[in-house]
Amino acid sequence: MEVSYLLAAAAWLASPLALADMNVALLDNKPAFIADVMRQMTLDEKIGQLRLISIGSDMPQPQLLKEIAAGRIGGTFNTVTRADNRPLQDAAVKRSRLKIPLFFAYDVVHGHRTIFPISLAQASSWDMDAVSLSARTSAMEASADGIDMTFAPMVDISRDPRWGRTSEGFGEDPYLVSEIARTAVHAYQGKSLAAADSVMASVKHFALYGAVEGGRDYNTVDMSPMRMYQDYLPPYRAAVDAGAGGVMVALNSINGVPATSNTWLMQDLLRKDWGFRGVTISDHGAIAELIRHGVAKDGREAARLAIRAGIDMSMHDSLYLQELPGLVKSGEVKEPEIDNAVREILGAKYDMGLFHDPYRRIGAAAGDPPDVNAESRLHRAAARDVARRSMVLLENSKQILPLKKAGVIALVGPLADAPIDIMGSWSAAGVARQSVTLYQGMRTALGDKARLVYARGANVTDNQHIVDYLNYLNWDKPEITQDKRSPEAMIAEAVKAAGQADVIVAAVGEARGMSHESSSRTSLDIPASQHALLAALKATGKPLVLVLMNGRPLALNWERENADAILETWFSGTEGGNAIADVLFGDYNPSGKLPISFPRSVGQIPIYYNHLRIGRPFIEGKPGNYTSQYFEEANGPLYPFGYGLSYTDFSLSDVKLSTRTLDRDGKLDASVTLRNTGRRDGATVVQLYVQDVSASVVRPVKELKDFRKIMLKAGEEKVVHFTVDAEKLKFFNAGLQYVAEPGEFNLQIGLDSRTVRQQSFELR
């Protein structure tokens, strides 16, 4: 414990404002301290702690302050300044009977004031330093605004890009997402959760939210336990093991029982099996939704089910407040059950350092930033760095990229100058006018070396129904601005601009709201208005470079056939425009790899690389009847998991194994020589996959087990080593035991999941 802490705490506790009768000496002993606080609490005060209030939607400010002072609120979310949080904390620690501090939470998902690339983009970096930089910077910025907890990381595995929240997650692979989960939790929480620049990570959405049926948001999930344990649960587990202080519970049901009333999930798995010690939080209104799920007949039953399942805090509903007193009185809920929840909530506050100093992150008014959006508060260099590392070069067959900073470049497309969209959804306290658009980024990069002609060319969509829907989503104000000109006039202007240019750069894809909560799609196509623009640009015969901005895999068949280069930039954040320009002009050599498969069409979904083996597999190049395939189009993904090009080329040698027989307690070294055979320095990701040749249950065709991002100078080579042991070969068998079974394994190393070099070994 830091000395300054104890002094601050002692001063606070010794003041007349301090917790009644609280023993300063206990402050160093968490269980004793919390027991002492709880000893003083009435049942109503305990129930008050279970409430997490959404600022701006739950109640007006005067009522909020009154409720806090009455000890009826445990924490709030959705405020983003110290000045906003201070009066709330004052009400708690100066006016409530027991003076228990509040905590302040917010959805800091990919940046706070500085917006980093969306999570799916960060996963494309396969670079844990980049993930860590984003989360650490976010924690610093959020805590400097008085925030104590973030509702992140979101680690829901998604194999269905129709789901709009695919953008918020880190892709389809349990290993990669688990690595990221661990990294992000450590970075948010810092060395000590109590530090002023740390925020508590509340991992979400527990569990399996990414598997909603049909990719339709909030839909049901029905899944075998083996698949759950093997593929979907590991990232949450990784976050818990990394010490995440909070867990946010999913909105969906799991095999017929909503997560919010799921005792198996919340008690048996999370607390007993995984040993989670921390606070569990329902998602927005989820306790009341138990009625609509049809497992509770009324609010009283909903509250009973949720508290008994182990939901400590209720977000944005008043059912705990209304119903728990009566439920305790009638004996349907026992006070010790309420105590369990209170203990975790007070424990979280203790861990965040709030009992030691409730103003730890809010600070004194004199220290408030005069301008919360001041440039000096942003971390632009970090955001640009992470954004560059997150981009994936999908096509560059004629080496049209990198572009020369010379001649005339036509920049077209509805996303070329779109400061709101480039931030992506869940952009926290990000401010659109601080975003660098692609247009601005290219202008800066070019200076007077080349001429940039710009034309919008199309609206993101001409479908008014979709525009209305996107504007209706939960933004503060409508954010889709339609160009009122006719589609023909806009295309004509773009074609004219293209006519003057040596090369066309077209920024196309989705409005950010299209890849968001409640934004599921039935099509993965680039909207028709933009497709018409691209077709007209193609007809000019000029080289065509596509810069994609989107939050999910898209079906890019036409684009792949017709574009000369395609750069997947996702939604790249505050510094997106500069970062994309860095890549387009070769000031940065792209090194991202897809963290999720790109299908050819919606009909292929679900399509993911680590699917189970089957009895009649389709074999590429050997089409035949009665094998597993779709007969009207090519099979397999358009771009596989792990895929991404560079401006240089790499070669991989055959795989060398240190032994062909691995003992149960032994280790095996697998190595390859990676060589940069091109003319530029560059980085790539060497990926290790394993296939269990024969096991007691059907196993995947391959599974990612390790990876290394390696930077090589032109002409340089390096031997890359991986260690394999029995731990890496374990899986959940039919009895859900985590075991490695003896027998043969194929070990594959590649620069994507499809093209690999293979060797075999035996586990004894």
Catalytic residues: 283
Nearer of residues 116 and 151 to ligand NOJ, judged by Cβ: 151
Smallest distance from the beta carbon of 401 to ligand NOJ, in angstroms? 36
Nearer of residues 127 and 517 to ligand NOJ, judged by Cβ: 517
Q: Name which position in 12, 151, 163, 643 contacts ligand NOJ (CB under 6 A).
A: 151
Structure tokens at 734: 């039919």
Smallest distance from the beta carbon of 213 to ligand NOJ, in angstroms? 17
Nearer of residues 248 and 547 to ligand NOJ, judged by Cβ: 248
What is the spatial distance between Cα 61 and Cα 97, in angstroms, rounded to a whole number? 20
Helices (H), 70-115: 82-90
> What DSSP element (H or E) covers 304?
helix 299-309
Smallest distance from the beta carbon of 54 to ligand NOJ, in angstroms? 7
| Residue 204 binds to ligand NOJ (criterion: CB under 6 A) | yes
Cis status of the peptide bond prior to 62, with omega within 30 of 0:
no
Nearer of residues 153 and 347 to ligand NOJ, judged by Cβ: 153
∠ CA 70-73-74, nearest 5°, is 130
Nearer of residues 156 and 351 to ligand NOJ, judged by Cβ: 156
Does residue 12 contact residue 19 with C-beta atoms inside 8 Å? no
Nearer of residues 178 and 252 to ligand NOJ, judged by Cβ: 252
What is the spatial distance between Cα 152 and Cα 138, in angstroms, rounded to a whole number? 11
Per DSSP, the residues of 219-266 read --B---HHHIIIIISHHHHHHHHTT-SEEEEPSSEETTEEGGG-HIII
Q: Radius of gyration of the chain from Cα atoms?
A: 27
Nearer of residues 153 and 573 to ligand NOJ, judged by Cβ: 153
Q: Is the dihedral of CA 179, 184, 190, 195 positive or negative?
A: negative
Which of 403, 395, 405 lies closest to 646, judged by CA? 395
Nearer of residues 281 and 726 to ligand NOJ, judged by Cβ: 281
| Residue 284 binds to ligand NOJ (criterion: CB under 6 A) | yes
Which of 315, 406, 358 lies closest to 101, judged by CA? 358
**208: helix, strand or coil:** coil
Q: Mask of contacts with ligand NOJ, 81-110, x by CB under 6 A?
A: --------------------------x---
Q: Please count the residues of this chain forming the interface with ligand NOJ, following the rule CB under 6 A.
A: 6
Q: Which residues pair with 204 in a beta bridge?
A: 154
| Residue 643 binds to ligand NOJ (criterion: CB under 6 A) | no
Kindly identify the residues of this chain, within the stretch 107-126, that bind ligand NOJ according to CB under 6 A.
107
Nearer of residues 283 and 564 to ligand NOJ, judged by Cβ: 283
Q: How many CA atoms lie within 13 A of 525 on its CB side?
A: 13
> What DSSP element (H or E) covers 5?
helix 3-14
b/e per residue 79-118 (b: at least 16 CB within 10 A): bbbbebbbebbbbbbeebebbbbbbbbbbbbbbbbbbbbb
What is the spatial distance between Cα 9 and Cα 356, in angstroms, rounded to a whole number? 4
Q: Mask of contacts with ligand NOJ, 326-355, x by CB under 6 A?
A: ------------------------------
Q: Which residues contact 397 (CB under 8 A, 6 or more apart)?
A: 564, 565
- What's the helix, strand, coil split of the chain in %, to 5? 35, 20, 45
Smallest distance from the beta carbon of 319 to ligand NOJ, in angstroms? 17
Smallest distance from the beta carbon of 568 to ligand NOJ, in angstroms? 24
Q: What is the largest CA-CA distance in the chain?
A: 83
Smallest distance from the beta carbon of 590 to ligand NOJ, in angstroms? 30
What is the spatial distance between Cα 509 and Cα 572, in angstroms, rounded to a whole number? 13
Residue nearest to ligand NOJ (CB): 151
Smallest distance from the beta carbon of 284 to ligand NOJ, in angstroms? 4
| Residue 317 binds to ligand NOJ (criterion: CB under 6 A) | no
| Residue 51 binds to ligand NOJ (criterion: CB under 6 A) | no
Per DSSP, the residues of 152-203 read --B------TTSGGGGGS--S-HHHHHHHHHHHHHHHH-S-TTSTT--EEEE
Q: Which residues contact 143 (CB under 8 A, 6 or more apart)?
A: 196, 197, 198, 199, 361
Smallest distance from the beta carbon of 238 to ligand NOJ, in angstroms? 19
Kindly identify the residues of this chain, within the stretch 413-432, that bind ligand NOJ according to CB under 6 A.
none
Smallest distance from the beta carbon of 212 to ligand NOJ, in angstroms? 12
Smallest distance from the beta carbon of 164 to ligand NOJ, in angstroms? 11
Q: Name which position in 283, 564, 692, 752 contacts ligand NOJ (CB under 6 A).
A: 283
* 64: exposed, middle or buried (Cβ count in 10 Å: 0-12, 13-18, 19+): buried
Nearer of residues 153 and 414 to ligand NOJ, judged by Cβ: 153
Structure tokens at 13: 């506790």
Does residue 51 contact residue 74 with C-beta atoms inside 8 Å? yes
Which of 109, 118, 113 lies closest to 548, judged by CA? 118
Nearer of residues 53 and 555 to ligand NOJ, judged by Cβ: 53
Nearer of residues 517 and 564 to ligand NOJ, judged by Cβ: 517
Smallest distance from the beta carbon of 427 to ligand NOJ, in angstroms? 13
Smallest distance from the beta carbon of 283 to ligand NOJ, in angstroms? 5
Q: Which residues contact 479 (CB under 8 A, 6 or more apart)?
A: 420, 470, 471, 511, 513
Kindly identify the residues of this chain, within the stretch 506-535, that bind ligand NOJ according to CB under 6 A.
517
Does residue 186 contact residue 242 with C-beta atoms inside 8 Å? yes
Binding site for ligand NOJ (CB under 6 A): 107, 151, 204, 283-284, 517
